[in-house]
Amino acid sequence: MPVIRFHALPMPYYICSGHCLTAPGRGHPDRYALGEFDLLVVDQGCLYIGEEDRRYELAEGHALILRPDSHHYPAQGCREITGSYYLHFQTAGVWDVLSDAEGASRLEEPQAGEDGGAADHHPRVAAFDIRIPQFTRLLNAGKMYELLRQLNELERDSHLGAVKWKQQMLFQEVLMQLEASMADKIPRPGADIADQAASYLRLHYRERISIRSVGEALNFHPVYIARCMQKQFGCSPMEYLMRYRLEQAKKLLLQTDLPVSQIGQDVGFQQAAYFTSCFGRWEGITPREYRQRFMLGHSRNGLNG
């Protein structure tokens, strides 16, 4: 089962949708490189579709995403009247297609320096992957039909900004439904360990933490935890901890008038000089300069500088 991976942000965006009936003997249009993703969801009958060298039987309750860069054609005509929803969408971001083996692992995350560099893993950027199956049997077909029906009803007013916004929100739910249809088929042991480690670090970031203490808390070998976090987040546990501490420090710099040295201690740095060094290496300026640069704008928003 190929999996389509979108690197976000930016998010994939909705273009248009509709519902059509295909008569017996007819099939999906023959198209070359449409330039948009085309999601098809069958609610009656069966569509027989080819994409390059692959063939799909798209029966009721199934979904298929046709790629924007491929040749799509009717593999054969429908044998009965077939109803299907279609939804066109696109992304301004990076996307790729994972093989069956790659798609079965949540650990194949982009590493630092790929598709945008280490900044993609900066906690403020909040970069992440959206993985959805190209072809799947829907976990909750009824829910998907309802979402697509709502999108279609909004099409007549889609020239209105408020309606476009609502359609985009519904589209995000469509993506979540697609993701949910394969969630129970994908093993997550490594990703779960990485998530547990991240949660532990966020909870105890003010304390003295070592990779050994993380391993003891989670009952896994520190090397295994480090490998899982590197694949999941693109950094080691200690680098993740350092970045999270710096994010908390930036909040305190902008929202309080605490001394810089006190802020460093409050977020887990034992020495003020080391805090200033780490902050400058990551942000390019000192904590005091950061506070001075942004203090005025935040003061106007009612925050203490």
Query: Is the per-residue pLDDT at 8 higher than 90?
Result: no
Q: Count of CB atoms within 10 A of residue 154's CB?
A: 17
In tens, the pLDDT along 17-28 reads: 999 999 999 998
Number of helical H runs and strand E runs in the chain: 10, 12
Same domain, 117 and 47: yes
Query: Is the per-residue pLDDT at 124 higher than 70?
Result: no
Reading the block at residue 278, the tokens are 């780490």
Predicted local distance difference test score (pLDDT) of residue 191? 77
Query: Is the per-residue pLDDT at 31 higher than 80?
Result: yes
- Evaluated on CA atoms 282, 288, 289, 294, the torsion sign reads positive
Same domain, 211 and 138: no
Cα 216 to Cα 255: distance, rounded to the nearest angstrom: 35
Same domain, 34 and 114: yes
Q: Would the pTM count as exceeding 0.85?
A: no
Same domain, 75 and 168: yes
Region 124-143 average pLDDT: 85
Region 44-70 average pLDDT: 94
305 in any annotated domain: no
Which domain does 63 fall in, by range?
A: 3-183
Region 61-86 average pLDDT: 94
Reading the block at residue 223, the tokens are 């090397």
Looking at 222-271, list the stretches that DSSP marks H as alpha helix, in order from N- to C-terminal side: 222-233, 237-255, 260-266
Least confident stretch, 17-31, 108-122, 148-162, 230-244: 108-122
138 in any annotated domain: yes
- Give the CA distances from residue 182 to residues 3, 9, 93, 134, in Å, rounded to whole numbers and listed in that order: 10, 22, 23, 10
Residue 274 sits in a domain whose CATH number is: 1.10.10.60
Instruction: Tell me what the pLDDT averaged over the chain comes to.
Output: 85
Query: Is the per-residue pLDDT at 298 higher than 50?
Result: no
Same domain, 179 and 257: no
* Closest to 211 in 3D by CA, of 203, 202, 199, 223: 223
Strand order from edge to edge, sheet including 37-44: 13-22, 82-90, 37-44, 62-66, 135-137
Cα 87 to Cα 89: distance, rounded to the nearest angstrom: 7
In tens, the pLDDT along 141-168 reads: 889 999 999 999 999 999 999 999 999 9
Q: Which of the four pLDDT bands, split at 50, 70 and 90, describes residue 107? A: very low
